[in-house]
Structures are given as C-alpha cells and as structure tokens.
Amino acid sequence: MVTNHQVLFNKVQPTGLPKPGETTTRGSAGLDIDNVALNGGVLTRNIAVSLDPTMRNRMKGDIGYFTPAYVVGKPVTAIGIAEVVRSEVDDFKSGDIVFVWSLGIEEYTLHPKEATAGFRKMDPTALSSGLSITTFLGAAGMPGMTAYMSIKEIIGDLKAGNKMFVSGAAGAVGQLVVQLCHQAGVKVIASAGSDEKCDFVRSLGADETINYKTENLPAKLKAFAADTGIHYYYDNVGGEQLEAYINVAARYGIIVACGYISGYNAEKPEDVVYPKNLFNIVTKELKYQGFIVSSFLPKWYGKFMEEVPKMLAEGKIKNREDVTFGVYGAEDAFLRLFTGENQGKVAVLIDTERAERWNLGKQMQGAKVWK
Amino acid sequence: MVTNHQVLFNKVQPTGLPKPGETTTRGSAGLDIDNVALNGGVLTRNIAVSLDPTMRNRMKGDIGYFTPAYVVGKPVTAIGIAEVVRSEVDDFKSGDIVFVWSLGIEEYTLHPKEATAGFRKMDPTALSSGLSITTFLGAAGMPGMTAYMSIKEIIGDLKAGNKMFVSGAAGAVGQLVVQLCHQAGVKVIASAGSDEKCDFVRSLGADETINYKTENLPAKLKAFAADTGIHYYYDNVGGEQLEAYINVAARYGIIVACGYISGYNAEKPEDVVYPKNLFNIVTKELKYQGFIVSSFLPKWYGKFMEEVPKMLAEGKIKNREDVTFGVYGAEDAFLRLFTGENQGKVAVLIDTERAERWNLGKQMQGAKVWK
C-alpha cells in the first residue's frame, strides 16, 4: 500500500483568483499499486504536470467551454507526463513514458481503457536527447505547439521586417512566440508584468518591451507602430492590450487569439475589459482568430517534433521554466500563474524521487525552483 | 452653359444621424460643358450613384479611416456610373460608360487625369443584357461584389447543411448573401428592421427571420442554433447582434465583418455597443475577419462578372432597389439608409432625362421609387 497524494477540485468558483485550500484542496488515498484492479485500463505513476491559465476556466462550472468543467471531489486534471506501472491495454506496457492530455494532479492515476486513447507514447530517442522531461511540457510540449502551430496556421509565413506585438511574453507560450518571430526577422515588441521579465524577454530577442504595470502601453505601442502600424498581435491577455493593439494595427493585421487571461479572475463580469474599437476590424481589414491547439495537432505535430526539440537541444531556442516540487505544491503554483510571481513555463514535478532519471538536474539550471 | 446641381459636404459631424441641409447642402454652379478646360482630364455626365452606409464614416472628419474624409465645400462622393462627355485621356472617349469608385454627387464632374485611374469602362454587352444600369450599382456592382467576394475569400466554399445568420438582410449586401447561401444549401436565419422586410427576405430563401425591433433576437438565434450552433455570421451591423451570434456560434464559426452600422450614428461614443463575450473567440475557435471589397477585386472580379450578372439576367438572383430621382434627392435618400425607410439597395438616379436608355423603365418594376 502507498499513499496517493492528490490535489482535488473542491469548489466551483466563477470569479476572483483561485484560492488554495478552498477552490482546490489536498487529499490522499491508500492505493495497492500491485493489486488494484485495472478493469482493462492502465495505472500510471505521474512524473510531472503542466499548469496553464486556461485551467482557471474549468473551475467556473459549466460556462459552455469545450473542455469540460472540473468535478468537485475529483483530482484537478492537467496535461502531464507519466510512467506506466501496470497495463491491461495492448498498446502500453510497464515502463512506457506517456504524454497525457488529461492527467490527475496526483501521484498515481488509474485510467479506464477509453481514456488511454488520449495517451501519446513518448519517443525514447527524444527523451534521451538531453532535454529534461519538463521541457516536453513547455517549449517541446503543449505551449510550444501552441506558439508554433498557431503562427503557422493563422498567420502563415512570418514576413521579415513586419512588426509583432506579443502580450504575456514571458509566459510559456509568449517566450517561444518572441523567439520564433525574432528568428524570422520580425520586429518584436513584447509586454510583461515586471522589469525583470522584460529583461528576460529582451534576452530572447524582443526589440522593445513594455512593463504593462508601470509603463504607458498604448503610447509605447504607438511609437513602435510608427508609420507602418503593427502587423501581428499574439494575444494572450485580451482586454486593454487587445484594444490598444487594434488602434495601432496595420491594414490586414492579424490577431492570434490564444488567451484572455486579463478576464479569467474578474471579481464581477463587468470588471472584464472588452475592446471598444471593433469597427476597426472592418476598416483595417483585420483577422482576429481564436484556436485551441488540439485542433492543429493532426496537421502540424510531425513538423513540430522534427524542428523544435532539435532547436532546443542545440540551444537555438531557450525555454525558461518555473518548477514546483511535489504534488501539493500545485495549488500555490497555479495561483502564481495569475499573480505573476511565476517565471516562465509553470510545471509541477510530482515524482521528485526519480527526477534525475529524466535530466531534471540539468533542467534546473536556470529554472526558477519552488520546493 | 448648364447649371450643375450638386450635393456638397457642409459640416463635419462625428455623431448622430446625418442631417440633410446641415451635414450636406444643396449647391449649383454654372458650367460650360463644351468649352471648359479639361487640363488633360475627363468631363463626365453622371448617370447614377450608389449610397452606402459606410459613407457616414467619411463625414466624421479624420478618424483614421482608410477611405479619406469628405472635404467641406466639395461634393460628397460615392460609387457611381457616368458617361464620358469630353476626354483628353487616351483610354476614354465621348460616349463611354464608366464605373467610377469616387464620383461626385452632382450632374457633371471634371476629373483630373490621375483620377481616371479609378475608372472602369463598362462592357457594352453587359449594358445591353437587359439589366438596368442601377443594377450595376447593386447586385452586379459593389454590394454584389461585397457579398460574393467576401464569402469566397473569408468563408471559402459554403457547406450545405451548415447554418448562417445574416444581419441587415434586406439591405444591398444582405439580400445577396441570403440568396447565395440559400442556393448553396445553407440554412439561413436573417434579421431586418420591419415585418415587411422580413417577408421580403423570406421570399429570397431565408428559412427564418427576426424583426430585431420587435422580436427577441437572442432567443430566436438560440432556437435556430439548436444543438449544432450557427456556423457563419454575415455581420452588417455589429453591436448586440454580433454579441448574440458569438453566444450561439458553432465551434470554428466564421464572422464576415462587413459593417458596423449599429454604431455609425451614435450620439455619444459610449452609446456604441460592443460585445462582452470575446473570450469565446478563443474557446470556440472563431474567426472574425473584416474587409473592404476593393482588396478582393484583383482576385475575384473576373469570376464575379462571369457569374452574377448572368444569374440576375436569368432571374436566379433578385435585386431589390430603392431608387431616388434627381441629384438633390440624395440627401434624404442617405438619411433613409439609417432610419430603415429604404427598401433594398439605395441608388440615386441623377440623369433622369435619359433614364430609358439604360433599361431604367424595366428596373423600376418592383423597385421602391422616390421622386
């Protein structure tokens, strides 16, 4: 018997910041890992999970979101990586490392057979390429795919000399967007929530940065737009920054609508800011397009895995991580996503005992670590 | 010497409805059509002009609109059709009928040579096909191109069985959108501002209509969406109707952003309604794209002229017109675009004396005529 530590969803919370201990709570349950009945499914030992802002919307009850709301009393789920302990599914055997779209934030998960349709077996070659396993939750994982595939699909080929505004630029997705644009010869202006984050984003290749908490964002955007306007906007935040972009958009500007984090934790619906200049969508001939990365996987997954892990291994792309140790740490780590205390891609390392096995020691160099 | 009657732009008016006699005013000037110096340009006798809601935005001074603001004291300009009287430009000769993107609302216009770059000589075969000349300002002209080309470019192939919401459906653009969708097997729900207009729109093939002034638009949209959602929205009005669509959009829904007429005449900026549910752009993976039809002409003009005038001549497409006689009538006709008193495509017939020459008698059958 082992004790399976878990972070459980505890209370539907439509507004405000998530509250560790209230929105979510710590739980544990005894588990006989050798003998528990699998009923045709799979038992995994969970290695790490990715915490993403969009999870906040699954804590609001049924809001018509395509990803289902969390269930009170059950573990919060997230994108994660796990090792198969026992399996009654032919495709998976003990020792396989699997990428899981919906993994409980807990040490062990029992997956019914139908849930394993969402597993993707990880390539042992990639795992031994020198990248840490949490990188496959960051730049080589969902946020990396998000940045890469949405640019390919919504913008197409980036045009050298064009200008891009990236909000939330120090975050998991933003940092890769900045680098992909910089490499393509696009001029980048990036916003983030502290001077330190702005320094980091400049180190990735941003030409100009805006600390949106202390600087005049519309004025800096306008100066950067100069007489050409800004051709692209990678929107992680919505609200005032979206409105400011629309005012300085170039004709035929493209808005990649990745998230709307400015509205996720509003205390009241009327606190969420929406742009009051949408008529410009018509007159400037803008395209404003949203997406969920899973829609792009069938078309782009192969090309992504061919290109991006290699660029990471060669140091051509940086991936700043913010790693929290231990399953219970997920509660505070999730809150930090919204207070801005995180530094880069937020992951929770669940299997801390065997961390070294997946290059985590190496990864920790340069990562912000919370123990 | 003749007297050239003109409608002049008289006063910049940022808010409210246009005011005949104040925003615009009636003028006249003597003109010696036989001897006036052309200075290398062209003199036209103007036949008809098209009045379009977007012209309202050019009466607001410099609002960063790509089409330039009107100049106080000069004739209001519009898309129109004219006959060349005298020409010092090699490409044009006396008697040519030309389509002009920027024609003064006046009986005669003197065009400098560089302005004739915006002329398009009309094909005599098309002119004699039985269509009236004002049709080339409606379904076979800019509004027709707008409907046809924006669907081709922003939606692509319409999918039979999908659902479309069209706002402003009895207007110049909307009536063609309804018919193109119906012909493609798309199920159409359409909004308009009176029961009579709704009847008309149903006669064009709309499956369901909403009188937005008297009926509960969100409820009717929701019922029509049922469990599939609505796949397309052709947006002529913005505001509340846009917000209502976003709430019932199908995943991957497409919004063709053609106009935002609900906001054009607001008394105060804060009276303009903007949707408060843009987060759905992300979660439903919507595409919301604006355009100005001139951007699509190079790619689609040929195909449009091949298909649409033929469909009109064969009666496969209907084109309801609202024709005002005489240049001075343009002032009231323009106001009717916003009060909703117009019925279909609003055109002003300037050269009433020679109307018969261009099948206008025929066209007047079924048109609303204001004399």
Is B312 part of a structural domain of the chain? no
- Whether residues A291 and B275 touch (CB distance < 8 A) is answered with no
Residue B354 has pLDDT above 80, yes or no: no
A154 and A202 fall within a common domain? yes
Q: In this structure, what token pair is assigned to residue A305?
A: 């895995």
Backbone dihedral angles phi then psi of residue A201, each to the nearest 5 degrees: -65, -35
Cβ–Cβ < 8 Å for A345, A50: yes
d(CA B281, CA B283): 6
Disruptive mutation site among B282, B288, B295, B297 for chain A (greatest number of A CBs within 10 Å): B282
Which positions in chain A touch B281 (Cβ < 8 Å)? Answer: 257, 288-290
- Whether residues A66 and B272 touch (CB distance < 8 A) is answered with no
**Chain A residue whose CA is closest to B295:** A285
Which positions in chain B touch A242 (Cβ < 8 Å)? Answer: 278
Domain end, chosen from B294, B309, B331, is at: B294
Å from B153 to nearest chain A CA? 12
- Whether residues A288 and B288 touch (CB distance < 8 A) is answered with yes
**Chain A residue whose CA is closest to B237:** A279
Is A371 part of a structural domain of the chain? no
Which of B65, B251, B282 minimises the CB distance to A283? B65
pLDDT one digit per residue (tens) for chain A, 371 residues = 999 999 999 999 999 999 999 999 999 999 999 999 999 999 999 999 999 998 999 999 987 777 889 999 999 999 999 999 999 999 999 999 999 999 999 999 999 999 999 898 988 777 777 788 888 999 999 999 999 999 999 999 999 999 999 999 999 999 999 999 999 999 999 999 999 999 999 999 999 999 999 999 999 999 999 999 999 999 999 999 999 999 999 999 999 999 999 998 888 888 999 999 999 999 999 999 999 999 999 999 999 988 998 899 888 999 888 999 899 999 999 999 999 898 889 999 998 887 667 655 555 556 677 76
Which positions in chain B touch A257 (Cβ < 8 Å)? Answer: 281-282
d(CA A176, CA A169): 8
Is A300 part of a structural domain of the chain? no
Cβ–Cβ < 8 Å for B194, B332: no
Question: For strand B187-192 and strand A208-211, is the pairing parallel, antiparallel, or unpaired?
Answer: unpaired
Residue B128 pLDDT grade (very low, low, confident, very high; cuts 50, 70, 90): confident
Give residue ranges of B with CB < 8 Å to any A CB: 57, 64-66, 238, 242, 251-252, 257-260, 263, 269, 272, 274-276, 278-292, 295
B117 and B228 fall within a common domain? no
- Domain of residue A355 covers 2-138+320-364
A238 and A268 fall within a common domain? yes
Which of A66, A272, A281 minimises the CB distance to B251? A66
- Whether residues B260 and A278 touch (CB distance < 8 A) is answered with yes
Is B301 part of a structural domain of the chain? no
Is A49 part of a structural domain of the chain? yes
Residue B30 has pLDDT above 90, yes or no: yes
A288 and A163 fall within a common domain? yes
d(CA A124, CA A139): 18
A212 and A272 fall within a common domain? yes
Å from A1 to nearest chain B CA? 41
pLDDT at B331: 96
- Whether residues A282 and B274 touch (CB distance < 8 A) is answered with no
Model's pTM, two decimal places?
A: 0.92
Cβ–Cβ < 8 Å for A358, A133: yes
CATH number at residue A357: 3.90.180.10
Which positions in chain B touch A256 (Cβ < 8 Å)? Answer: none
Cβ–Cβ < 8 Å for A230, A350: no
Domain end, chosen from B247, B278, B294, is at: B294
A90 and A18 fall within a common domain? yes
| Total number of domains in chain A | 2
pLDDT at B124: 77
Which positions in chain B touch A272 (Cβ < 8 Å)? Answer: 276, 279
In whole angstroms, what separates CA B68 from the centre of its chain?
Answer: 17
B128 and B267 fall within a common domain? no
- What does the CA dihedral B73, B78, B84, B89 come to, rounded to 10 degrees? 80
d(CA B23, CA B16): 11
d(CA A359, CA A135): 10
Which positions in chain A touch B66 (Cβ < 8 Å)? Answer: 251, 283-284
A111 and A197 fall within a common domain? no
Residue B10 has pLDDT above 70, yes or no: yes
pLDDT at B352: 80
Which of B64, B274, B291 minimises the CB distance to A285? B291
> What ipTM, to 2 d.p.?
0.90
Give residue ranges of A with CB < 8 Å to any B CB: 57, 64-66, 238, 242, 251-252, 257-260, 263, 269, 272, 274-276, 278-292, 295
pLDDT at A368: 75
Q: Dump strand ranges (E) for chain A.
A: 2-9, 24-31, 42-50, 77-87, 97-104, 108-111, 119-121, 163-166, 187-192, 208-211, 230-235, 249-257, 287-290, 321-325, 345-349, 368-370
For A96, half-sphere exposure in the C-beta direction (CA atoms, 13 angstrom radius) is 20
Is B71 part of a structural domain of the chain? yes
**Chain A residue whose CA is closest to B260:** A279
Residue B355 has pLDDT above 80, yes or no: no
Is A229 part of a structural domain of the chain? yes
Residue B12 has pLDDT above 80, yes or no: yes
Which positions in chain A touch B283 (Cβ < 8 Å)? Answer: 57, 64-66, 290, 292
Which positions in chain B touch A287 (Cβ < 8 Å)? Answer: 287-290
In the block, tokens 């969508």 appear at: A281
CB within 8 A of B114, min separation 6: which ones? none
Cβ–Cβ < 8 Å for B72, B9: yes
Is A260 part of a structural domain of the chain? yes
**Chain B residue whose CA is closest to A278:** B274
A72 and A198 fall within a common domain? no
pLDDT at A81: 94
Residue B359 pLDDT grade (very low, low, confident, very high; cuts 50, 70, 90): low
- Whether residues A292 and B285 touch (CB distance < 8 A) is answered with yes
Which of B259, B279, B290 minimises the CB distance to A238? B279
A149 and A282 fall within a common domain? yes
A147 and A133 fall within a common domain? no
Give residue A90's identity as a one-letter amino acid code. Answer: D
Domain end, chosen from A294, A329, A346, is at: A294
CA-wise closest residue to B122 among B83, B148, B89, B157: B83
B6 and B111 fall within a common domain? yes
pLDDT at A248: 97
CB within 8 A of B107, min separation 6: which ones? B2, B4, B5, B6, B45, B46, B327, B350, B351
Q: In this structure, what token pair is assigned to residue A264?
A: 């996720």
Q: In this structure, what token pair is assigned to residue B370?
A: 């204001």
Give residue A71's identity as a one-letter amino acid code. Answer: V
- Whether residues A276 and B274 touch (CB distance < 8 A) is answered with yes
What is the DSSP secondary-structure string of B277-307? -THHHHHTT-EEEE--GGGTHHHHHHHHHHH
CATH number at residue A263: 3.40.50.720
